Amino acid sequence: MNNSALLSFLCLFALLHQSLAASPQFNVIQFGAKPDGRTDSTSAFLAAWKQACSSTRGVTLYVPKGRFLTRSMLFKGPCRNSAIFIRIDGTLVAPSDIWAIGNNPNWIEFQYVNGVTISGGVLDGKGAPLWSCKLAGRKCPTGATVLTNYSSTNLFFVFFSGKQTLGFSFCNNVLVSGVTSLNSQMFHVVINFCRNVKLQGVRISAPGNSPNTDGIHIQMSTGVTVVNTKVATGDDCVSIGPGAANLRIENFACGPGHGISIGSLGKNVNEPGVQNVTVKSTTFTGTTNGLRIKSWGKPSNGFARNILFQHATMNNVQNPIFIDQRYCPDRNCPDTASGVRVSDVTYQDIHGTSATQVAVNFDCSKRNPCKGIRLDNVRLTYNSKPAVASCANADGTTIGLVQPGSCL
Ligand SMILES: *[C@@H]1O[C@H](CO)[C@@H](O)[C@H](O)[C@H]1NC(C)=O
Ligand SMILES: *[C@@H]1O[C@H](CO)[C@@H](O)[C@H](O)[C@H]1NC(C)=O
């Protein structure tokens, strides 16, 4: 074999070897991360991300066992591959100094990434100091205010500036599997302007009295699926905001918490609606709400339509079935009639116990009455007796046994 033949043989071998080898793996330890729970590993994680994102092939970013302290991290795309697999065996820990994340948007945020999986691991948001600051009414870093912005083209922009634990904005093809989020400072998981996102086997946990710790918030996104997930927290287990479409939640447990909430909708005049939502096989335990649709009592062109709530068990829930179109915490609602149109909402096989007498409450807008409400086999009791239903401006039908008797 002459030299050039040898060279081409070696090249061929290297090529073959490369294509047969497992995708490259980057361990955050190689980038200087320390699993001691004390050393700031932020820059190591960001350096590992930079490599993973610039790889032209799918890659694995590996976080081994141990506790990794990190400040806010923005994992930004677009990346040169669409198969980044982040495997976490350890725990990421946020700084407990409430000003360390400060007024930064999020703790862990992905933006403009197409094709990312996060598998396993614990995200420990260290929320307690911020919650006590808020509960004591002291001056705290600003919370998850939703900044709404309308550009000249009337496009709808919503950005969060808060301290959610895990955020995805403008991302497609995302899988979050077997991840645990503990004690988030604010919202645990936020999905904003994304397509095709799946959350499975996710565990979310914070105390029932922790302020603004919503479990999963979804808005301006289509094709989001949440399955086999449990949320115990101080605010909504799931909140579904404007522009959510084609959303499915299945095998989901909530409690403590404020239930699964579509809304608040209609805070703004121009607002995209929520449509095609299926919430199936859910259990609510000791929650303030079960299945809720909530809109501001102000003018809006928003809507919620084609919603199916199917197979829900209520255990001692304060408002098991609730449409609340008179939400106005800031008391700045001119005539309290919501512009949001609620239509085609089905409640099928909903049963269990209510913690208050009114188990079914449709408090719809007098300007836009709810249309196409269907109650199909609903059985809710209060103190072992049938509960009560209350309706205002609600129109629809009942099928099968419905207790409390329908007021539609
Ligand atoms: C709203 O969005 C426009 C266009 O993106 C931007 O130029 C403007 O600065 C934004 N305004 C605010 C208050 O964020
Ligand atoms: C909602 O579902 C309907 C009927 O299946 C479909 O025609 C419509 O395109 C869906 N909406 C969105 C925003 O995808």
pLDDT per position as a tens digit, 57-82: 999 999 999 999 998 899 999 999 99
In angstroms, rounded to a whole number, what is the distance separating the alpha carbons of residues 325 and 341?
A: 10
Lowest mean pLDDT among 70-74, 110-114, 249-253, 355-359: 70-74
pLDDT digits (tens, 9 = 90+) for 240-266: 999 999 999 999 999 999 999 999 999
Gap from CA of 171 to ligand 1 centroid (Å): 21
Say which residue, 20 or 188, is predicted with more confidence: 188
In angstroms, rounded to a whole number, what is the distance separating the alpha carbons of residues 43 and 31?
A: 8
Do residues 316 and 376 make contact, with C-beta atoms less than 8 angstroms apart? no
Query: What local confidence, expressed as pLDDT, does residue 72 receive?
Result: 87
In angstroms, rounded to a whole number, what is the distance separating the alpha carbons of residues 404 and 408?
A: 11
Kindly report the protein residue whose alpha carbon is nearest to atom 10 of ligand 2. 276
Cα distance from N-terminal residue to C-terminal residue, the chain: 88
Q: How many helices (H) and strands (E) does the chain have?
A: 4, 33
Counting ligands in written order, which one lies closest to the CA of residue 152?
A: 1
Query: What local confidence, expressed as pLDDT, does residue 8 receive?
Result: 54
Name residues contacting ligand 2 (CB within 6 A): 245-246, 275-276, 306
Q: Give me the CATH code for the 71-403 domain, please.
A: 2.160.20.10
CA 19 to chain centre: 37
Query: What local confidence, expressed as pLDDT, does residue 308 receive?
Result: 98
Residue boundaries of the structural domains of the chain? 71-403
Q: In 20-90, where do the E strands start and end?
A: 25-27, 36-40, 59-63, 67-69, 73-76, 84-88
Query: What local confidence, expressed as pLDDT, does residue 39 receive?
Result: 97
Query: What local confidence, expressed as pLDDT, does residue 377 receive?
Result: 97
State the average pLDDT over residues 337-346: 97
Q: What would the 3-class secondary structure string for 114-154 be?
A: EEEEEECCEEECCCHHHHHHHHCCCCCCCCCEEEEEECCCC
Statement: the pTM of the whole predicted model exceeds 0.85? yes
The pLDDT of residue 12 is above 70? no
Counting ligands in written order, which one lies closest to the CA of residue 224?
A: 2
pLDDT digits (tens, 9 = 90+) for 136-182: 988 887 644 444 443 333 344 444 445 689 999 999 999 999 999 99
Kindly report the protein residue whose alpha carbon is nearest to atom 8 of ligand 1. 151
pLDDT band at 102 (very low <50, low <70, confident <90, very high): low
Rounded percentage of the chain residues whose pLDDT exceeds 90: 76
Gap from CA of 156 to ligand 1 centroid (Å): 11
Query: What local confidence, expressed as pLDDT, does residue 106 receive?
Result: 79
Torsion angle of alpha carbons 345, 349, 351, 356, nearest 10°?
A: 10
In angstroms, rounded to a whole number, what is the distance separating the alpha carbons of residues 25 and 395?
A: 57
Gap from CA of 150 to ligand 1 centroid (Å): 7
pLDDT band at 1 (very low <50, low <70, confident <90, very high): very low
Beta bridge partner(s), residue 353? 381
pLDDT digits (tens, 9 = 90+) for 389-402: 999 999 999 999 99
* Mean pLDDT (the chain, rounded): 89
